[in-house]
Amino acid sequence: MRKFLLLSVGLLIASLSPAYSELDELAAVKAYEEIQEANMPDAGEKVANDLLRDRVLDKKNRVIGEVNDVILDKNGAIVMLDVDFNRLHNQTNSVLIDYNDMGVVPSTNGYKLNYSDGEIERLMPSMLDNLDTAGGKYYNSNKLSISRLKGQKIYNSQGDIIGEVTDVVFDTLGSYAKKLYIALSDKTVSGKKVAVPFRSINSDVQKLMVSDGAAQAMLKYAQTGK
């Protein structure tokens, strides 16, 4: 029954585009399956606002600051944190730190760094010296800021707007982004929100895009709700 339903979905999606090939149809079915899974409820998930202003701790579990922003790669893995070190003596309200270099570990009470507060204070001048380089690396690439993702338009391959990002969803600890919620713009389902896997989004400096198969699968899921 499940295979029949998915095949029917594939045929319906394919019928919307006469240029579809068999491979396109299979891709559309796979995209629909992934969207079905993404829209299943999960009580353990965190949304973007849970991470913004989350606590930053040193290796002795002392609170030393809070998160301004989280920077992701194209697969949803965290590569940088923008941190307000407001609990240190030399308070600095925005420092981009490398997630791996600082040995960051997500936990139930915040993001833990592999340095003591004193070590971080001693490292601060060099961290600030590298701020422009890190910022350039962040702003001039396909890395994504969760604070900037909300409200971004999503396009198909023809450049048509298919929706707008309303939220970013993470796993229980906030260690990686699992999916995005997108409010669709098609008039038949205008404003209806559909979750899509984070990895299905292709990004460049200018725009966020999904494949045509994924775009049609999102629309079909919004229309059928199953």
Average pLDDT for consecutive 10-residue bins of the chain (226 residues)?
48 52 72 92 89 95 95 93 91 88 93 96 83 53 85 92 96 94 94 93 80 90 83
- How far is CA 8 from its chain centroid? 30
Question: pLDDT value at position 132?
Answer: 54
Question: pLDDT value at position 196?
Answer: 95
Q: Whole-model pTM?
A: 0.83
Closest CA to 58 of 90, 87, 98, 91: 87
Question: pLDDT value at position 15?
Answer: 53
Please report, as a single letter, which amino acid is at residue 140: N
Closest CA to 62 of 104, 126, 100, 115: 115
Tokens of 224: 């059928």
**Contact (CB, 8 A) for 42 and 54:** no
**Contact (CB, 8 A) for 32 and 85:** no
The partner residues of 114 in beta bridges, in order of sequence, read none
63/120 Cα distance (integer angstroms): 12
Q: What DSSP designation does 116 have? A: -
Question: pLDDT value at position 4?
Answer: 41
